[in-house]
């Protein structure tokens, strides 16, 4: 469990009054999650999720919360932040930024079938389109600049073979990010971490995307690649499962058709998406933060996926 900042009902008795939610009735720490402290909160008005942000600042957070607000207002299924009585989406709790968002129904689908992948693909395309007129700008903070900064910090811990792969892939991705095809890719706000544990389903019905705290402005294709690399693979080998890949890409394409530049960039983008999570998992593994009972994710999973994407071409976008 990772509740970094404990909160009791007593702590929030007064605090909750700044929201139009009535009295707080129950609060319960949520066991999963490695970035923030999350709680299920029941008030007189309903069920919500309270998040205390452990790493993001008051300056950084409006980008994420206003994005969720923007998307929710346009019918994309995401948690809607609850504004305070003075219209703020953020409040301070135990000296840290905190927000209350609506609670999504359902649970994560950790063994997705093509029907789930299709629902995710269609909603992802809707999200990209709905984000087009989002006025705030923030780069993907886990993009190429962060990879450049992080690579030398993790290289000393790697075997020769893995270090060679990391160096070679960084060269490849630097060239890719500078090429003409890359420049033609559509960009906008992206989720950037749309793994199975960040989507809720009620049976086959998608009820929402959540955990937007890695979102930023990046290519839409990067978002698609991150999502395919988690939803549409054999988890033991990293090999893509064609029926799930097709279901996700076809459903996306039906809402927001992929472009020729995106088709050309697809194979390197799948590698970029694998590299991003290999690097962040290496970083978390070798530079662990202090946290209660925190288990870092396994970096070798994404090393395996990266090797597989280099070795085997993925099905095309369309
Ligand atoms: N809006 C929501 N509705 C319902 N459940 C939610 C919501 N937000 C978070 N949760 C629950 O809280 C858990 C942890 O949330 P979240 O994934 O955002 O945490 P995190 O610390 O950012 O973790 P990580 O980055 O590892 O995914 C989720 O697995 C989910 O069960
Ligand atoms: N989805 C990330 C964790 C951060 O949300 C990972 O699996 O490495």
All domains of the chain in start order, with CATH: 9-102 (3.30.200.20), 114-311 (3.90.1200.10)
**Closest to 208 measured CA to CA, from 136, 127, 99, 115:** 127
Neighbours of 191 (CB within 10 A): 28
Length of the chain in residues, anyone?
318
**Closest to 76 measured CA to CA, from 192, 199, 197:** 199
Instruction: For ligand 2, say whether the CB of 297 is within 6 Å of any of its atoms.
Output: yes
Distance CA 282, CA 277 (A): 8
Distance in Å, CA 24 to ligand 2 centroid: 31
Query: pLDDT 10s per residue in the chain (318 long)?
Result: 466 788 999 999 999 999 999 999 999 999 876 778 999 999 999 999 999 999 889 999 999 999 999 999 999 999 999 999 999 999 999 999 999 999 999 999 999 999 999 999 999 999 999 999 999 999 999 999 999 999 999 999 999 999 999 999 999 999 999 999 999 999 999 999 999 999 999 999 999 999 999 999 999 999 999 999 999 999 999 999 999 999 999 999 999 999 999 999 999 999 999 999 999 999 989 986 655 446 778 999 999 999 999 999 999 999
Which phi and psi angles does 38 have, rounded to 5°? -120, 145
Distance CA 125, CA 79 (A): 17
Distance in Å, CA 54 to ligand 1 centroid: 14
Instruction: Report pLDDT for 296.
Output: 77
Q: Does the interface predicted TM-score (ipTM) exceed 0.90?
A: yes
What DSSP element (H or E) covers 96? strand 96-102
Instruction: Report pLDDT for 292.
Output: 46
Residues 6 or more apart from 106 whose CB is under 8 A from it? Answer: 200, 201, 202, 203, 205, 207, 208
Distance in Å, CA 192 to ligand 2 centroid: 10
Distance in Å, CA 194 to ligand 2 centroid: 9
* Residue whose CB lies within 8 A of the most ligand 2 atoms, among 276, 281, 295, for a mutation test: 281
Whether the Cβ atoms of residue 173 and residue 147 lie closer than 8 Å to each other: yes
The residue with tokens 């609506």 is: 102
Closest C-alpha to ligand 1, atom 10:
49
């Amino acid at each position: 469990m990772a509740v970094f900042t404990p909160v009791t009902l007593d702590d929030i008795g007064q605090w909750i009054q700044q929201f139009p939610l009535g009295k707080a009735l129950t609060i319960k720490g949520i066991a999963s999650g490695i970035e923030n402290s999350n709680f299920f909160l029941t008030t007189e008005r309903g069920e919500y999720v309270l998040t205390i942000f452990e790493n993001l600042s008051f300056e950084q957070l409006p980008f994420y919360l206003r994005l969720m607000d923007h998307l929710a207002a346009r019918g994309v299924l995401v948690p809607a932040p609850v504004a305070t009585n003075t219209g703020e989406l953020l409040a301070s709790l135990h000296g840290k930024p905190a927000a209350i968002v609506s609670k999504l129904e359902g649970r994560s689908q950790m063994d997705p079938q093509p029907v789930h992948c299709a629902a995710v693909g269609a909603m992802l395309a809707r999200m990209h389109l709905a984000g087009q007129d989002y006025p705030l700008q923030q780069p993907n903070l886990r993009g190429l600049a962060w990879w450049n900064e992080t690579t030398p910090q993790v290289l000393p811990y790697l075997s020769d073979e893995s270090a060679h792969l990391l160096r070679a892939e960084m060269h490849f991705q630097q060239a890719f990010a500078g090429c003409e095809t890359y420049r033609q890719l559509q960009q906008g706000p992206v989720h950037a971490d749309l793994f199975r544990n960040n989507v809720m389903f009620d049976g086959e019905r998608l009820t929402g995307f959540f955990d937007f705290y890695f979102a930023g402005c990046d290519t839409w294709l990067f978002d698609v690649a991150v999502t395919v690399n988690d939803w549409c693979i054999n988890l033991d080998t990293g090999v893509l499962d064609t029926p799930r890949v097709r279901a996700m890409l076809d459903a996306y394409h039906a809402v927001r058709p992929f472009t020729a530049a995106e088709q050309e960039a697809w194979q390197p983008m799948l590698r970029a998406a694998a590299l991003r999570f290999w690097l962040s998992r290496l970083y978390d593994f070798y530079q662990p933060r202090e946290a209660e009972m925190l288990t870092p994710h396994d970096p070798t999973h994404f090393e395996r996926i990266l090797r597989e994407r280099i070795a085997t071409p993925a099905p095309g976008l369309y």
